[in-house]
Amino acid sequence: MKFARSILMLPRFHKRLISIAVDMLGLWLVAVMAIWLRFGDSVFPLLDYLPAIALLSILALPIFITRGLYRAVVRYIGHHFAMTVLTSVTMVFVLWAAAIFMLDLKFPRSAIVIAWLLALFYISITRLAARWLLSEGLAKSHYASRKKCGDFWCGFVRETVAQCAGKGIRL
């Protein structure tokens, strides 16, 4: 859990940069994996598909930023965040498919759908994994001190009630 604590100690800007880098690398891997799944073979001309793969990251970054995927504090995301991920990833892939067809880039059509499904899975899992990792790190570092604070307040209330009872004041 030292890793989680070291991530928690980073400034917010650095955490966002890490998140952006992980997403961009992941989208490249998702596109390559979609081609691999489509052809069923690990040997394919990757350089032919490189412009389309690069375009995916170029389109995804501004959409993910404007839709708030990097603004939300990962530890506190709720279930409504799943809808944001779904709409953001879908928007990216609709634009990507349109750009591939308009620019006449070489990329298998069925691999676009496979990549969309893989990207939904990838973006969701990375957010949930970060939430779990950071909340576990938080539980071991910050929540331990909160227990002491709770004990302090319990003792304070107990003393106040005892003082009031000794003076005949009813609460």
pLDDT in tens, 14-52: 888 988 999 999 999 999 999 999 988 777 788 899 999
Q: pLDDT tens-digit profile of 103-148?
A: 999 999 999 999 999 999 999 998 888 777 777 655 555 544 555 5
Q: Quick one: pLDDT at residue 141?
A: 52
Q: Quick one: pLDDT at residue 63?
A: 95
pLDDT of 76 over the 70 cut:
no
Domain membership of residue 95 (yes or no) is: yes
Domain membership of residue 150 (yes or no) is: no
Domain membership of residue 162 (yes or no) is: no
- What number of residues does the chain have? 171
Domain membership of residue 154 (yes or no) is: no
pLDDT of 96 over the 60 cut:
yes
Q: Quick one: pLDDT at residue 142?
A: 52
Contact 38, 114 (CB under 8 A): yes
User: Cβ neighbours of residue 17 under 8 Å, at least 6 residues apart?
Assistant: none
Domain membership of residue 45 (yes or no) is: yes
* Domain housing 61: 10-140
pLDDT of 168 over the 60 cut:
yes
Q: Quick one: pLDDT at residue 75?
A: 58
Q: Quick one: pLDDT at residue 73?
A: 61
Map tokens 């006449």 to a residue: 104
Burial class (CB in 10 A: 0-12, 13-18, 19+), 67: middle
Tokens representing residue 87 in the block: 């709409």
Tokens representing residue 41 in the block: 């073979």
Q: How far apart are CA 33 and CA 30, in angstroms?
A: 5
Angle at alpha carbon of residue 68, lines to 62 and 69, rounded to 5°: 85
Q: Quick one: pLDDT at residue 66?
A: 92
Q: How many distinct structural domains can be found in the chain?
A: 1
H/E run at residue 145: helix 109-166
